[in-house]
Amino acid sequence: MSRSPFMYGIVSAAACAAVVAAAAAGTAGAANAAPAPSSSGSVSPAVNGGPPKVKTAPPSSNARARASGGVVFNCQSATAALRCYGPDQMRAAYGTDKLINAGFTGKRRAVTIVDAYQSPTLRADLAAFNSVWGLPTAPLKIVAPDGLTPFDPNDANMQSWASEINLDVQWSHAMAPSAKIVLVLAKSNNDNDIQSAVKYAVDHNLGDTMSMSFGEAESCYGLNLDGSRQPGTTLAAQHAIANKARRQGMTLFASAGDSGSTQPTCNGKGNLIAASTPASDPYVTAVGGTQLFANPVTGRYQREVVWNEEKTLGFRSSGGGGFSNTYAVPWWQNRVGSLPSRGVPDVSYNAAVDGGVIVALQGSFYIFGGTSSGSPQWAGIAADIAQLNKGRLGFINPALYQIARKTPSAFHDITRGQNGDFGLGGFTAGTGWDAASGLGTPVVNTLALSLAAAR
């Protein structure tokens, strides 16, 4: 099957009210239609689907000021029809600002991002993003180990991946402004090509942390539409790559998905109850989704619920979670309850469209939502903590669960909401770990000290 990026909701910052009204009234029309979901043999990025993407002019030069507290766009307001956050607010909400202000910015660390195809405007968009928010230039290296596929601007799938690439690079940089970013591009989103790109990144030990904002049902991995298998493209092969990364001390993150408790069927014609791979791999830290409510100016944390905007937006848009059909319960999940198998997500992060993050894309700015937003930000945060730790964090899942038991203040425990998907069932948040939000979202300044102490 082909992989899909997990990044829903690409919305113009200037068109917030119109988009919400259109989505709520069901009048968004053809512009609101998502690209066709991926079918067997490929993964999907989280950006498939969502409200219409409407271009808006970038902020004027006098708005590009850090003195304003990082408030540049009209959607950075509690009264906006569709709220958004910039780097200052996201850092403050989760406590990453305390690490960064103390000088732990990912210096001498590297974040690897794996995506498919390319984003021809990436460097220019990244420069615009940095200019608006007053961020330093990002040390960015782009690697295409199997060749770079020419970009077709009329191809919806390629456009989805271009959006994913921009989100991943810009927001990992926002969380780790001094870290080197290594972008590894697969020549397509076919599973064999994605697996090849991940393997290259691991074989060449390219980063301290890695973000993978894509996924599909475990049963569809490496399976073509005609039922044949892509050579060497199996969950066992993928797991072996993740295990090698673990042995090298790399920290892997993957988005848990944007379809709640479901994933697209292998033929792309419906959805089934399933966990997303690679997030379900035990050696990967799976990142689910929440809706964050924070002060739009200061970023002061207020509350969170499980991300589920399906009723508002009218399309699948809820945090991925559930149980693996492949992997047994890992030992570090034994104490969170009587689980049937490996449960995901491990942790969560803001993923809502209403309360999304601003991304520069092809000369304009947009609000993005989806669990694609969380994986690169967690990878950036882990790079900051690796600097604090004076070395790689390595495989962190056992430590995360131990910290949640011993230092519960290291997480915002999400106890409200559910990730049910259009009548197919789902999971409800509660105290402690659950399949709707995992252990919760990070209180970074507390988690950092606990993680560094655990290494």
Sequence-distant (≥ 6) Cβ neighbours of residue 430 within 8 angstroms: 415
Structure tokens at 310: 């399906």
**Alpha-carbon distance 440 to 288, whole Å?**
9
Q: Does residue 405 contact residue 47 with C-beta atoms inside 8 Å?
A: no
Q: Hey, what amino acid is at 318?
A: S
CA quadruple 367, 53, 257, 2: dihedral sign: negative
Axis-axis angle for helices 156-175, 122-133 (nearest 10): 40
Q: What is the pLDDT along the chain (455 residues), one digit of tens a residue?
A: 676 776 545 544 444 433 333 233 222 222 233 334 455 677 766 544 432 233 344 565 555 544 456 888 888 888 888 889 999 999 999 999 999 999 999 999 999 999 999 999 999 999 999 999 999 999 999 999 999 999 999 999 999 999 999 999 999 999 999 999 999 999 999 999 999 999 999 999 999 999 999 999 999 999 988 888 999 999 999 999 999 999 999 999 999 999 999 998 998 888 899 999 999 999 999 999 999 999 999 999 999 999 999 888 777 789 999 999 999 999 999 999 999 999 999 999 999 999 999 999 999 999 999 999 999 999 999 999 999 999 999 999 999 999 999 999 999 999 999 998 667 889 999 999 999 999 999 999 999 999 988 77
d(CA 188, CA 42): 8
Which pLDDT score, from 0 to 100, does residue 24 have?
Answer: 30
Distances (CA, A) of 36 to 45, 115, 156, 310, 353: 12, 19, 9, 18, 20
pLDDT at position 316 is 73
Model pLDDT, residue 56 = 41
CA torsion sign for 315, 371, 267, 190 is positive
Q: How far apart are CA 215 and CA 277, in angstroms?
A: 5
pLDDT recorded at residue 52: 29
**CA 73 distance to own-chain centroid:** 22
CA distance 414 to 304: 6
Q: Which residues contact 287 (CB under 8 A, 6 or more apart)?
A: 253, 254, 255, 256, 279, 345, 346, 347, 348, 349, 371, 374, 375, 378
Tokens of 293: 């409510």
Domains of the chain: 2-454 (3.40.50.200)
Rounded Cα distance between 130 and 326, Å, is: 41
Report the C-alpha gap between 193 and 202 in whole angstroms. 14
Q: Angle at CA 10, nearest 5°, toward 9 and 11?
A: 105
Residues 6+ apart with CB under 8 A from 47: 5, 6, 7, 8, 10, 160, 161, 163, 164, 167, 368, 370, 372
Q: Locate tokens 């905007």: which residue?
A: 309
Which of 326, 338, 323, 282 minimizes the C-alpha distance to 426? 323
Report how far residue 235's alpha carbon sits from residue 221's, in angstroms, rounded to the nearest whole number. 7
Residues in a beta bridge with 42: 2, 190
Q: What is the pLDDT at residue 64? A: 55
Helix axes 444-454, 397-406, angle to 10 degrees: 120
Give phi and psi for 42, each to the nearest 5: -150, 150
What is d(CA 312, CA 305) in angstroms, rounded to the nearest whole number?
15
Q: Are 355 and 291 in contact (CB under 8 A)?
A: yes
